[in-house]
Amino acid sequence: MATKQPVHRQQGAATRTKLLQAGKQVLAERGYHAARVDDVVSVAQVSHGSFYLYFPNKEALILELARECAQELGAMTEALGEISADASGREALRAWLTEFLALYRSYGVVVRAWVENQFNNAELTQLGLDSFASIAEALMERMSRSHPEDGPLRVVALVSMMERFTSLIVNQDLGPDDLVLDTAATVIHRGFFAGVPA
């Protein structure tokens, strides 16, 4: 039988979650360098003391968000199935892109900071490098059948394109998600997984 957590622990977990959510919002609105603890506590509607109870500084909050993002990216990468050259491969890719879009909506500011190398923190930078290396390796394995000769260059192009395109979907009105994801899946599948053109 599960035991109930004491009320103060439940409240503490809720406060910490509020701070992390507020951190995501502030980072998305202001960017990594301009975000301040004052902004986070204002959005979370908690005191500075509450913030410092859970995080010693802004970087610690961002590090926790980066860890969450890296963990989710890792799980997504492990779950990526075969991307065959046929329609089922396109559908598998589309399903994965849908998950990547959801993750980007939640952690886009972390992903952008990784891609643009904005962090002056070795652990934050390494989390990004490791996360994208895992994605690249998984995609490379799936591309190697159709494009064995230039896989490394193709995977760099693919990962870069996915990140930028997803950023545009999140930050611009490109149309309904289903239409945009269908188009992205088709273009990526044809260009990277459907075999060498004749």
Q: What is the pLDDT of residues 157-175, one digit of tens each?
A: 888 888 888 888 888 888 8
Q: What is the pLDDT of residue 170?
A: 86
Domains of the chain: 1-55 (1.10.10.60), 59-193 (1.10.357)
Q: Decide if pLDDT at 196 tops 90.
A: no
Name the helix (H) or strand (E) containing 126.
Answer: helix 122-143
Q: What is the pLDDT of residue 6?
A: 58
Q: What is the pLDDT of residue 197?
A: 46
Which of 6-15, 36-45, 75-84, 188-197 shows the lowest per-residue confidence on average (mean pLDDT)?
6-15
Q: Decide if pLDDT at 14 tops 70.
A: yes
